[in-house]
A and B are shown apart, each in its own frame.
Chain A
Amino acid sequence: MAIFLTEHSRILVQGITGTEGARHTRRMVAAGSTVVAGVVPNRDGQRLDDIPIFGDVASAVAATGADVSVVFVPPRFAKAAVLEAVDASVPLTVVVTEGIPVHDSVEFVARARAAGVRIIGPNCPGLISPGQSNAGIIPADIAKRGRIGLVSKSGTLTYQLMHELRDFGFTSCVGIGGDPVAGTSHIDCLAAFEADPETDAIVLIGEIGGDAEERAAAFVRDHVTKPVVGYVAGFTAPPGRTMGHAGAIVSGSSGTAAAKKSALEAAGVAVGTTPTETAQLMRDLLAS
């Protein structure tokens, strides 16, 4: 098993003819993912390589049975695209697009909750279940299939930890994104990894801003029996400055890396001071 994305997943790509959309679609296909459709308004009936393109999500779903959408649509049009996927009851929509206004994210996350479907992102690298499927932009060849689950706000830190632990491999790695409002939280992923029989241990990567890591720590304490190691980035970030990700900001005394680290440690999570040390903690744990 894996979480959210398996070898049976049937992927459609919204914005498949854009530069990024086309490029990453080809990478997903090369990684063995089943990409069944593209969606681009006014391009109904065309193809990208062998993949049929539809004018809207509902038609694509009806014709192909797609159950995952990956959105590469630019920020200006992203809200309409995501709402289209939600309204077509696509069970999982991965929003890669960076720079979506947060009011738009609030709208589509609310609509997805009401419809009972999942959004991952926005501003995220997507998720990969190595050896099974890849929905988004995570490089497929970093690590093989294994028994570690990973959840992270950051794309490159995900890649770094996957690389460091590549000999162990992963069930699923989920990049939930660095925006202030996200469709899927650390907690959603922790719960799914806890329930997944093939996942033995979990890596949780956080960064400054908000209190998602503190809430995740409480969830680990109360609901997770599998071992968890953690890493938090941004100890040296100055207050009030946005550090790359729209959500990565220390506001006054809240959202600091130190607070997140101590909350995680209080919940029994071993927290590394560097990505390499974090990987070592996981190695020690799996060896014991």
Chain B
Amino acid sequence: MDLFEHQAHDLFALHDIPTGRRRVALTPAEAAAAAAAIGGKVVIKAQVKTGGRGKAGGVRLASSPDEAAHAAERILGMDIHGHTVHSVLVTDASEIVAEYYVALLLDRAAGGFLALLSGAGGMDIESAPPELLVRAPLDIDGGLTDGLALSLCADAGLPSEVAPVLTALWRLLRAEDATLVEINPLALLADGTIRALDGKITLDDNASFRHPQHAGLAAAAPADPREAAAARKHLNYVKLDGSVGVIGNGAGLVMSTLDVVAAAGEAHGGVTPANFLDIGGGASARVMADSLEIVLADPDVTAVLVNVFGGITACDAVADGILQAYWQLTDGGGPLRAPLIVRMDGNNAEKGRRMLVAAALPGVLTAETMDGAATLAAAMARQEAP
């Protein structure tokens, strides 16, 4: 889970990393009140989980509460790279002497954590010249000690005052189960103090069981309503832009199904998948009914492709689940809202297919191969399109 900037600031403050005075505002009036409470010059910053917001006009200076309200009015509701701005962060403007970059992140290739430091803060770090970037792998047990922090600062040409920020960042990373903590820029101010001016934090969703306090952070992020409904039913669903609903078992197979549908769709007017939905190991009637319900609730869906490899759950059991789900959703009556194409392979695939064919449900088709099923689904989706 990626945090909003203001949530990152809150975690920085909690772990003794210096931050500015700040408040979140949802309306221009709240922004004016925040500016009045903070006093002096303030910065109004769009809260979106994407980069490039300064260039997009999502960051403005204000010298008075009136100006703050005006700035917030211009920023709230903006679309920044597909993200709508629902809130702004109002924070005190500071006189900056120097800007640095510090980050700790998971290095997947190395299977461990890595520190990144640079004297060239405030810029897109991917475009920073490599010679200005210090990289250091961190030992998970040894961690980031005071001595290591000081030597990393020296290597990167940062003042020694940054070292305590680095050790605090490490404590934050470990305590909160973060996979990325980044301060960019970390500023040296005219009064000689160090302050985190902007930050990014990514928390590990797998660790949420030991961080009940993180639940509120996720709640602050508005999710797609269908994704929220799927999450409540413990289904792994991602909404996409196309018209073929996809249900399958196993993340890799479902991703592959999306690709095969998109490729087949090229011959059918550019039909693409409407969603990713991984039902995992089993394929009970209940899971199948829940999945079909969520996929069919998407008005963009004009055909549904069910792609299952029967491993431990044999295909006859999957077919049985599909039949039961069908009766459940149609109340024993007419066809589903969109045609359903089923492809099964693996354990008892032939038996499963025969069961579906014998049931002769209106609007339910079977296909022998994954590629054939995708072509059929793409053709049906286009035919059914409004």
Residues of A within 8 A of B (CB): 27, 75-76, 99-103, 105-107, 109-110, 137-139, 141-142, 152-160, 163, 178, 180-183, 205, 207-212, 215, 231, 233-238, 240-248, 252, 257, 273-277
Establish whether residues B126 and A252, one from each chain, have CB atoms under 8 Å apart when the complex forms: yes
Q: How far, in Å, is B142 (CB) from chain A's closest CB?
A: 10
Instruction: Determine the chain A residues whose CB is within 8 A of the CB of B77 once the complex forms.
Output: none
B100 interface residue per 8 A CB criterion: no
Select which of B177, B276, B278, B309 is within 8 A of A160 by beta carbon: B309
Establish whether residues B238 and A181, one from each chain, have CB atoms under 8 Å apart when the complex forms: no
CA distance A155 to B256 in the complex (A): 12
B251 interface residue per 8 A CB criterion: yes
Establish whether residues A237 and B106, one from each chain, have CB atoms under 8 Å apart when the complex forms: no
Q: How far, in Å, is A55 (CB) from chain B's closest CB?
A: 25
Establish whether residues A212 and B276, one from each chain, have CB atoms under 8 Å apart when the complex forms: no
B65 interface residue per 8 A CB criterion: no
Instruction: Determine the chain B residues whose CB is within 8 A of the CB of A238 once the complex forms.
Output: 238, 240
Q: How far, in Å, is B244 (CB) from chain A's closest CB?
A: 11
In the complex, the number of residue pairs spanning A and B with C-beta atoms less than 8 Å apart equals 174
Select which of B209, B236, B312 is within 8 A of A75 by beta carbon: B209
Q: How far, in Å, is B246 (CB) from chain A's closest CB?
A: 10
Instruction: Determine the chain A residues whose CB is within 8 A of the CB of B179 once the complex forms.
Output: 102, 180
Establish whether residues A155 and B252, one from each chain, have CB atoms under 8 Å apart when the complex forms: yes
Instruction: Determine the chain B residues whose CB is within 8 A of the CB of A157 once the complex forms.
Output: 250, 252-253, 256
Establish whether residues B252 and A205, one from each chain, have CB atoms under 8 Å apart when the complex forms: yes
Are A274 and B112 CB-contacts (below 8 A) given A244-B278, A246-B205, A246-B206?
no
Q: Which 5 A-B pairs have the closest CB atoms?
A: A154-B252, A244-B251, A156-B250, A101-B207, A156-B253
Instruction: Determine the chain B residues whose CB is within 8 A of the CB of A105 once the complex forms.
Output: 111
Instruction: Determine the chain B residues whose CB is within 8 A of the CB of A110 once the complex forms.
Output: 111-112, 139-141
Establish whether residues A99 and B272, one from each chain, have CB atoms under 8 Å apart when the complex forms: no
Establish whether residues B251 and A160, one from each chain, have CB atoms under 8 Å apart when the complex forms: no
Establish whether residues A101 and B252, one from each chain, have CB atoms under 8 Å apart when the complex forms: no
Establish whether residues A153 and B252, one from each chain, have CB atoms under 8 Å apart when the complex forms: yes
Establish whether residues B111 and A181, one from each chain, have CB atoms under 8 Å apart when the complex forms: yes
B254 interface residue per 8 A CB criterion: yes
Establish whether residues B206 and A236, one from each chain, have CB atoms under 8 Å apart when the complex forms: no
Establish whether residues A139 and B252, one from each chain, have CB atoms under 8 Å apart when the complex forms: no
Q: Mark B253-274, 1 if CB is under 8 A from A, else 0.
A: 1111011111100000000110
Contacts A/B (CB < 8 Å), 25 sampled: A76-B209, A102-B177, A102-B179, A103-B174, A107-B140, A109-B111, A110-B111, A110-B140, A139-B311, A139-B346, A142-B311, A157-B252, A158-B252, A159-B250, A163-B345, A178-B252, A233-B253, A234-B255, A237-B258, A244-B252, A244-B278, A245-B251, A252-B126, A274-B263, A277-B371
Taking CB atoms and an 8 Å cut-off, the chain B residues in 204-235 that contact chain A are 204-207, 209-210
Q: How far, in Å, is B224 (CB) from chain A's closest CB?
A: 11
B108 interface residue per 8 A CB criterion: yes
Taking CB atoms and an 8 Å cut-off, the chain B residues in 75-95 that contact chain A are none
B359 interface residue per 8 A CB criterion: no
Establish whether residues B108 and A207, one from each chain, have CB atoms under 8 Å apart when the complex forms: no
Are A159 and B311 CB-contacts (below 8 A) given A110-B112, A211-B108, A233-B259?
yes
B369 interface residue per 8 A CB criterion: yes
B347 interface residue per 8 A CB criterion: yes
Establish whether residues B206 and A102, one from each chain, have CB atoms under 8 Å apart when the complex forms: yes
B113 interface residue per 8 A CB criterion: yes
Establish whether residues B109 and A210, one from each chain, have CB atoms under 8 Å apart when the complex forms: yes
B167 interface residue per 8 A CB criterion: no
Instruction: Determine the chain B residues whose CB is within 8 A of the CB of A231 once the complex forms.
Output: 256
Q: Mark B91-110, 1 if CB is under 8 A from A, else 0.
A: 00000000000000010110
Instruction: Determine the chain A residues whose CB is within 8 A of the CB of B273 once the complex forms.
Output: 236
CA distance A160 to B205 in the complex (A): 29
Which bracket fits the contact residues of B?
35 or more
Are A274 and B311 CB-contacts (below 8 A) given A101-B206, A102-B206, A157-B252?
no
Are A178 and B371 CB-contacts (below 8 A) given A102-B206, A139-B347, A234-B259?
no
Establish whether residues B254 and A244, one from each chain, have CB atoms under 8 Å apart when the complex forms: yes
Residue of B nearest to A102 (CB): B204
Instruction: Determine the chain A residues whose CB is within 8 A of the CB of B106 once the complex forms.
Output: 102, 106, 180-181
Select which of A160, A210, A236, A245 is within 8 A of B240 by beta carbon: A236
Instruction: Determine the chain A residues whose CB is within 8 A of the CB of B113 once the complex forms.
Output: 106
Residue of A nearest to B258 (CB): A236
CA distance A275 to B258 in the complex (A): 12
Establish whether residues A247 and B252, one from each chain, have CB atoms under 8 Å apart when the complex forms: no
Establish whether residues B204 and A212, one from each chain, have CB atoms under 8 Å apart when the complex forms: no
Establish whether residues B346 and A211, one from each chain, have CB atoms under 8 Å apart when the complex forms: no
Instruction: Determine the chain B residues whose CB is within 8 A of the CB of A245 once the complex forms.
Output: 251-252
Q: How far, in Å, is B382 (CB) from chain A's closest CB?
A: 17
B370 interface residue per 8 A CB criterion: yes
B249 interface residue per 8 A CB criterion: yes
CA distance A107 to B141 in the complex (A): 8
Q: How far, in Å, is A190 (CB) from chain B's closest CB?
A: 15
Residue of A nearest to B253 (CB): A156
CA distance A275 to B261 in the complex (A): 13
Instruction: Determine the chain A residues whose CB is within 8 A of the CB of B309 once the complex forms.
Output: 156, 159-160, 163
Are A163 and B346 CB-contacts (below 8 A) given A101-B206, A211-B108?
yes
Residue of A nearest to B248 (CB): A156
Are A274 and B256 CB-contacts (below 8 A) given A139-B311, A243-B276?
yes
Residue of B nearest to A123 (CB): B206
Select which of A137, A233, A277 is within 8 A of B255 by beta carbon: A233
Instruction: Determine the chain B residues whose CB is within 8 A of the CB of A211 once the complex forms.
Output: 108-109
